[in-house]
Structure 1
Amino acid sequence: MTACAPGTTVSPGTAGPTRPPASVNPPIPSTAPVEVCARFLPSASCSSYVSISGTSHGKDLPWVASGAVTVRLTTVAGSLQLAVKTPCNPASGPATIRENTLVAGNVASGAMGCPAEAGTQEAWVLHFLRGPIEMTSSGGTLTWKSGPDTLTLRAD
Protein backbone atom coordinates (compact mmCIF):
# COMPACT_ATOMS: atom_id res chain seq x y z
CA MET A 1 0.00 0.00 0.00
CA THR A 2 1.26 3.49 -0.82
CA ALA A 3 0.20 6.45 1.27
CA CYS A 4 1.48 9.86 2.29
CA ALA A 5 -0.06 10.00 5.75
CA PRO A 6 2.17 9.54 8.79
CA GLY A 7 2.31 6.02 10.15
CA THR A 8 1.59 4.35 6.80
CA THR A 9 3.52 1.38 5.57
CA VAL A 10 5.40 1.59 2.33
CA SER A 11 6.27 -1.56 0.42
CA PRO A 12 9.69 -1.96 -1.17
CA GLY A 13 9.85 -0.31 -4.60
CA THR A 14 7.05 2.15 -3.90
CA ALA A 15 7.26 5.86 -3.25
CA GLY A 16 7.13 7.10 0.29
CA PRO A 17 7.18 10.45 1.98
CA THR A 18 10.28 12.50 1.22
CA ARG A 19 12.00 15.16 3.22
CA PRO A 20 13.27 18.35 1.66
CA PRO A 21 17.03 18.30 1.19
CA ALA A 22 19.07 20.06 3.84
CA SER A 23 20.38 23.43 2.75
CA VAL A 24 23.91 23.16 1.41
CA ASN A 25 24.72 26.77 2.31
CA PRO A 26 23.14 28.24 5.41
CA PRO A 27 21.50 31.63 4.86
CA ILE A 28 23.82 34.59 5.29
CA PRO A 29 22.27 37.40 7.28
CA SER A 30 22.18 40.62 5.28
CA THR A 31 22.46 44.11 6.65
CA ALA A 32 20.98 47.28 5.25
CA PRO A 33 23.47 49.57 3.52
CA VAL A 34 24.80 52.30 5.78
CA GLU A 35 24.17 55.89 4.69
CA VAL A 36 26.93 58.34 5.67
CA CYS A 37 26.80 62.11 5.23
CA ALA A 38 29.09 63.42 2.48
CA ARG A 39 30.30 66.95 1.73
CA PHE A 40 29.41 68.73 -1.49
CA LEU A 41 32.74 70.59 -1.25
CA PRO A 42 35.63 70.33 1.21
CA SER A 43 34.75 73.80 2.55
CA ALA A 44 31.03 72.97 2.95
CA SER A 45 29.58 71.47 6.11
CA CYS A 46 28.29 67.93 6.00
CA SER A 47 24.55 68.50 6.37
CA SER A 48 21.30 68.97 4.55
CA TYR A 49 20.88 72.28 2.76
CA VAL A 50 17.72 74.31 2.27
CA SER A 51 17.12 76.82 -0.54
CA ILE A 52 17.26 80.53 0.23
CA SER A 53 17.24 81.98 -3.31
CA GLY A 54 17.29 81.04 -6.95
CA THR A 55 17.18 82.48 -10.43
CA SER A 56 16.10 81.22 -13.82
CA HIS A 57 17.67 83.04 -16.77
CA GLY A 58 18.42 85.98 -14.44
CA LYS A 59 14.89 86.25 -13.02
CA ASP A 60 14.30 85.67 -9.30
CA LEU A 61 12.34 82.59 -8.24
CA PRO A 62 10.48 83.71 -5.07
CA TRP A 63 9.22 80.19 -4.30
CA VAL A 64 12.82 78.99 -3.89
CA ALA A 65 13.51 81.58 -1.16
CA SER A 66 10.93 79.97 1.13
CA GLY A 67 13.01 76.80 1.53
CA ALA A 68 11.06 74.86 -1.10
CA VAL A 69 14.13 72.83 -2.12
CA THR A 70 16.30 70.75 0.20
CA VAL A 71 19.35 68.74 -0.81
CA ARG A 72 21.57 66.18 0.90
CA LEU A 73 24.58 64.22 -0.27
CA THR A 74 25.42 60.83 1.23
CA THR A 75 27.65 57.88 0.58
CA VAL A 76 25.94 54.49 0.42
CA ALA A 77 28.06 51.39 -0.12
CA GLY A 78 30.88 53.58 -1.47
CA SER A 79 28.72 55.50 -3.97
CA LEU A 80 27.58 59.12 -3.74
CA GLN A 81 23.81 59.60 -3.62
CA LEU A 82 22.00 62.91 -4.05
CA ALA A 83 18.63 63.34 -2.33
CA VAL A 84 16.44 66.32 -3.19
CA LYS A 85 13.06 67.40 -1.89
CA THR A 86 11.12 69.50 -4.38
CA PRO A 87 7.88 71.41 -3.75
CA CYS A 88 5.99 68.26 -4.77
CA ASN A 89 7.99 65.02 -4.68
CA PRO A 90 11.31 63.76 -3.35
CA ALA A 91 13.92 62.82 -5.92
CA SER A 92 17.21 60.96 -5.68
CA GLY A 93 19.93 59.35 -7.70
CA PRO A 94 23.63 58.69 -8.00
CA ALA A 95 26.03 61.60 -8.18
CA THR A 96 29.66 62.32 -8.95
CA ILE A 97 31.79 65.29 -7.96
CA ARG A 98 34.94 66.39 -9.75
CA GLU A 99 36.64 69.35 -8.15
CA ASN A 100 33.72 71.81 -7.81
CA THR A 101 31.35 70.23 -10.34
CA LEU A 102 28.42 68.05 -9.30
CA VAL A 103 26.84 65.75 -11.87
CA ALA A 104 23.63 63.99 -10.92
CA GLY A 105 23.05 60.63 -12.58
CA ASN A 106 19.60 59.28 -13.42
CA VAL A 107 17.50 61.09 -10.87
CA ALA A 108 14.19 59.41 -10.08
CA SER A 109 11.34 61.37 -8.55
CA GLY A 110 8.19 60.37 -6.73
CA ALA A 111 5.06 59.68 -8.77
CA MET A 112 2.60 61.75 -6.76
CA GLY A 113 0.54 64.09 -8.91
CA CYS A 114 1.36 67.74 -8.34
CA PRO A 115 -0.86 70.80 -8.46
CA ALA A 116 0.05 73.00 -11.44
CA GLU A 117 2.37 75.42 -9.61
CA ALA A 118 4.18 72.74 -7.59
CA GLY A 119 4.51 70.62 -10.75
CA THR A 120 6.15 73.52 -12.61
CA GLN A 121 8.52 74.11 -9.69
CA GLU A 122 9.43 70.43 -9.51
CA ALA A 123 10.09 70.39 -13.27
CA TRP A 124 12.45 73.37 -12.86
CA VAL A 125 14.41 71.56 -10.11
CA LEU A 126 14.67 68.33 -12.12
CA HIS A 127 15.79 70.26 -15.22
CA PHE A 128 18.35 72.14 -13.11
CA LEU A 129 19.81 68.81 -11.95
CA ARG A 130 20.33 67.54 -15.53
CA GLY A 131 23.31 69.73 -16.31
CA PRO A 132 26.68 69.87 -14.66
CA ILE A 133 26.36 72.03 -11.53
CA GLU A 134 29.22 74.35 -10.63
CA MET A 135 29.41 74.70 -6.84
CA THR A 136 30.90 77.31 -4.53
CA SER A 137 30.74 77.48 -0.75
CA SER A 138 31.19 80.37 1.65
CA GLY A 139 30.08 80.95 5.24
CA GLY A 140 27.60 78.06 5.41
CA THR A 141 26.08 78.95 2.04
CA LEU A 142 26.29 76.68 -0.99
CA THR A 143 25.74 78.23 -4.42
CA TRP A 144 24.96 76.08 -7.45
CA LYS A 145 25.01 77.23 -11.05
CA SER A 146 23.58 75.08 -13.85
CA GLY A 147 23.57 76.81 -17.23
CA PRO A 148 21.75 80.17 -16.86
CA ASP A 149 20.13 79.15 -13.54
CA THR A 150 21.32 79.43 -9.93
CA LEU A 151 20.27 77.94 -6.63
CA THR A 152 21.60 79.22 -3.30
CA LEU A 153 21.24 77.04 -0.21
CA ARG A 154 22.18 77.31 3.44
CA ALA A 155 23.21 74.54 5.80
CA ASP A 156 20.18 73.29 7.69
Structure 2
Amino acid sequence: MKSLKVFACLTAVLFTGMTVASCGSSTGAPNPSQTSPTPSRECAQFVSGAPCEKYTSTAGSDDGTPISWVTAGELTAQLSKRGSDTYLTVVMPCGPLDAVVTINDKIMRITGQRALGASGCIENLGERQGWVLKFLEGSVELGYSNNTLTWTNGKDSLSFVTS
Protein backbone atom coordinates (compact mmCIF):
# COMPACT_ATOMS: atom_id res chain seq x y z
CA MET A 1 0.00 0.00 0.00
CA LYS A 2 2.85 2.35 0.86
CA SER A 3 4.50 1.73 -2.53
CA LEU A 4 1.21 2.53 -4.25
CA LYS A 5 1.07 5.92 -2.49
CA VAL A 6 4.71 6.60 -3.41
CA PHE A 7 3.97 5.70 -7.04
CA ALA A 8 0.91 7.99 -7.09
CA CYS A 9 2.89 10.88 -5.61
CA LEU A 10 5.81 10.32 -7.97
CA THR A 11 3.44 10.26 -10.94
CA ALA A 12 1.83 13.51 -9.82
CA VAL A 13 5.23 15.19 -9.38
CA LEU A 14 6.42 14.03 -12.81
CA PHE A 15 3.19 15.16 -14.47
CA THR A 16 3.39 18.57 -12.81
CA GLY A 17 7.04 18.90 -13.82
CA MET A 18 6.27 18.06 -17.44
CA THR A 19 3.36 20.50 -17.49
CA VAL A 20 5.48 23.34 -16.13
CA ALA A 21 8.36 22.50 -18.46
CA SER A 22 6.09 22.43 -21.47
CA CYS A 23 4.60 25.81 -20.63
CA GLY A 24 7.91 27.61 -20.28
CA SER A 25 7.96 31.28 -19.41
CA SER A 26 5.04 32.74 -21.26
CA THR A 27 3.52 36.14 -20.84
CA GLY A 28 0.39 35.09 -22.69
CA ALA A 29 1.25 37.25 -25.71
CA PRO A 30 2.17 35.43 -28.91
CA ASN A 31 5.78 35.63 -29.97
CA PRO A 32 5.85 36.19 -33.74
CA SER A 33 9.26 34.54 -34.06
CA GLN A 34 7.86 31.30 -32.62
CA THR A 35 4.68 31.01 -34.65
CA SER A 36 4.42 29.95 -38.24
CA PRO A 37 1.44 30.44 -40.47
CA THR A 38 -0.73 27.42 -41.07
CA PRO A 39 -0.76 26.64 -44.77
CA SER A 40 -4.17 27.22 -46.27
CA ARG A 41 -5.99 24.09 -47.31
CA GLU A 42 -8.26 24.00 -50.28
CA CYS A 43 -9.98 21.05 -51.84
CA ALA A 44 -8.49 19.49 -54.97
CA GLN A 45 -10.10 17.21 -57.55
CA PHE A 46 -8.88 13.71 -58.28
CA VAL A 47 -10.03 14.01 -61.90
CA SER A 48 -11.97 16.53 -63.94
CA GLY A 49 -15.71 16.27 -63.31
CA ALA A 50 -15.34 14.54 -59.94
CA PRO A 51 -16.69 16.45 -56.93
CA CYS A 52 -14.08 18.03 -54.73
CA GLU A 53 -15.05 16.15 -51.56
CA LYS A 54 -14.12 13.32 -49.22
CA TYR A 55 -14.67 9.84 -50.67
CA THR A 56 -15.61 6.60 -48.89
CA SER A 57 -14.69 3.15 -50.18
CA THR A 58 -17.42 0.96 -51.64
CA ALA A 59 -15.52 -1.87 -53.34
CA GLY A 60 -12.09 -3.21 -54.06
CA SER A 61 -10.29 -6.10 -55.69
CA ASP A 62 -6.96 -7.81 -55.14
CA ASP A 63 -5.64 -9.39 -58.35
CA GLY A 64 -9.19 -9.32 -59.72
CA THR A 65 -10.74 -11.00 -56.64
CA PRO A 66 -13.26 -8.86 -54.68
CA ILE A 67 -12.16 -7.65 -51.24
CA SER A 68 -15.10 -7.71 -48.83
CA TRP A 69 -13.64 -5.43 -46.13
CA VAL A 70 -13.33 -2.46 -48.50
CA THR A 71 -17.08 -2.40 -49.14
CA ALA A 72 -17.68 -1.61 -45.48
CA GLY A 73 -16.36 1.93 -45.95
CA GLU A 74 -13.03 1.06 -44.34
CA LEU A 75 -11.19 3.73 -46.33
CA THR A 76 -11.71 7.40 -46.93
CA ALA A 77 -9.72 9.51 -49.36
CA GLN A 78 -9.44 13.22 -50.01
CA LEU A 79 -7.18 15.55 -51.96
CA SER A 80 -6.20 19.03 -50.83
CA LYS A 81 -3.94 21.80 -52.05
CA ARG A 82 -1.51 23.26 -49.53
CA GLY A 83 0.58 25.92 -51.06
CA SER A 84 1.89 24.53 -54.35
CA ASP A 85 1.63 20.87 -53.24
CA THR A 86 -1.25 18.43 -53.62
CA TYR A 87 -1.80 16.13 -50.64
CA LEU A 88 -3.60 12.80 -50.55
CA THR A 89 -5.12 11.91 -47.21
CA VAL A 90 -6.27 8.32 -46.84
CA VAL A 91 -7.76 7.13 -43.57
CA MET A 92 -7.18 3.40 -43.28
CA PRO A 93 -8.23 0.83 -40.68
CA CYS A 94 -5.23 1.56 -38.43
CA GLY A 95 -4.50 5.21 -39.07
CA PRO A 96 -4.15 7.93 -41.69
CA LEU A 97 -1.66 8.50 -44.48
CA ASP A 98 -0.89 12.02 -45.65
CA ALA A 99 1.35 12.22 -48.71
CA VAL A 100 2.37 14.65 -51.43
CA VAL A 101 1.14 13.40 -54.81
CA THR A 102 1.25 14.44 -58.41
CA ILE A 103 -1.53 13.75 -60.87
CA ASN A 104 -0.71 13.79 -64.58
CA ASP A 105 -3.06 12.49 -67.25
CA LYS A 106 -5.22 10.64 -64.67
CA ILE A 107 -2.17 8.93 -63.13
CA MET A 108 -1.56 9.60 -59.43
CA ARG A 109 1.84 8.99 -57.82
CA ILE A 110 3.12 9.62 -54.34
CA THR A 111 6.08 11.89 -55.08
CA GLY A 112 6.94 13.65 -51.88
CA GLN A 113 6.76 13.60 -48.14
CA ARG A 114 4.66 10.93 -46.47
CA ALA A 115 3.30 10.91 -42.96
CA LEU A 116 1.78 7.73 -41.59
CA GLY A 117 -0.32 8.26 -38.47
CA ALA A 118 0.11 6.25 -35.33
CA SER A 119 -1.14 2.73 -35.77
CA GLY A 120 -3.16 0.72 -33.32
CA CYS A 121 -3.97 -2.37 -35.35
CA ILE A 122 -5.67 -5.42 -33.97
CA GLU A 123 -6.18 -8.78 -35.66
CA ASN A 124 -5.98 -8.52 -39.46
CA LEU A 125 -6.38 -4.73 -39.69
CA GLY A 126 -2.61 -4.34 -40.11
CA GLU A 127 -2.76 -6.54 -43.21
CA ARG A 128 -5.48 -4.31 -44.63
CA GLN A 129 -3.41 -1.20 -44.06
CA GLY A 130 -0.37 -2.90 -45.60
CA TRP A 131 -2.42 -3.79 -48.67
CA VAL A 132 -3.52 -0.17 -49.14
CA LEU A 133 0.03 1.17 -48.73
CA LYS A 134 1.35 -1.35 -51.28
CA PHE A 135 -1.54 -0.47 -53.62
CA LEU A 136 -0.50 3.21 -53.51
CA GLU A 137 3.08 2.44 -54.56
CA GLY A 138 3.84 3.27 -58.17
CA SER A 139 1.19 4.51 -60.57
CA VAL A 140 -2.50 4.61 -59.66
CA GLU A 141 -4.85 5.23 -62.57
CA LEU A 142 -7.82 7.46 -61.69
CA GLY A 143 -11.27 7.35 -63.23
CA TYR A 144 -14.66 8.88 -62.52
CA SER A 145 -17.96 7.64 -63.90
CA ASN A 146 -21.54 7.28 -62.60
CA ASN A 147 -20.66 9.12 -59.36
CA THR A 148 -17.90 6.59 -58.60
CA LEU A 149 -14.21 7.39 -58.27
CA THR A 150 -12.01 4.43 -59.24
CA TRP A 151 -8.36 3.78 -58.54
CA THR A 152 -6.57 1.03 -60.46
CA ASN A 153 -3.06 -0.30 -59.98
CA GLY A 154 -2.38 -3.32 -62.18
CA LYS A 155 -5.04 -5.94 -61.40
CA ASP A 156 -5.96 -4.26 -58.10
CA SER A 157 -8.66 -1.62 -57.74
CA LEU A 158 -10.56 0.53 -55.27
CA SER A 159 -13.90 2.30 -55.78
CA PHE A 160 -15.21 5.28 -53.81
CA VAL A 161 -18.30 7.48 -53.61
CA THR A 162 -18.60 10.88 -51.97
CA SER A 163 -19.24 10.78 -48.24
Structure 1 length normalisation: TM-score? Answer: 0.79
Q: State the one-letter code of the partner of 2:124.
A: E
Distance 2:59 2:107 in 1: 20
Corresponding residue for residue 100 of structure 2:
94
Corresponding residue for residue 77 of structure 1:
83
Q: Structure 2, unaligned stretches of length 5 or more?
A: 1-30
Match of 2:40 among 27, 34, 38: 34
Once the two structures are TM-superposed, the CA of residue 27 in structure 1 deviates from its matched residue by 4.7
Identity, in percent, stands at: 34
Q: State the one-letter code of the partner of 1:89.
A: G
Q: State the one-letter code of the partner of 1:113.
A: G
Q: How many residues align?
A: 131
Once the two structures are TM-superposed, the CA of residue 113 in structure 1 deviates from its matched residue by 3.2
Distance 2:32 2:142 in 1: 45
Q: Counterparts of 1:49-60 in structure 2 under 5 Å?
A: 49-60=55-66
Distance 1:120 1:149 in 2: 15
SS at match of 2:81: strand
Contact 1:131 1:147 in 2 (8 A): no
Say which one has the larger Rg: 1
Corresponding residue for residue 154 of structure 2:
147
After superposition, the C-alpha distances for 1:44-78 in whole angstroms (9 at most, x for unaligned) are 11001100000001111100001001000000011
Q: Which has the higher helix share?
A: 2
Task: Identify if the C-alpha distance between structure 1 residues 32 and 128 changes in structure 2 by more than 3 Å, giving closer, same or farther.
Answer: same
Q: State the one-letter code of the partner of 2:67.
A: L
Q: State the one-letter code of the partner of 1:81.
A: Y
Corresponding residue for residue 14 of structure 1:
none
1:112 aligned onto 2:119: yes
Corresponding residue for residue 19 of structure 2:
none
Match of 1:132 among 123, 135, 139: 139
Once the two structures are TM-superposed, the CA of residue 90 in structure 1 deviates from its matched residue by 0.6
Alpha carbon RMSD of aligned pairs, Å? Answer: 1.6
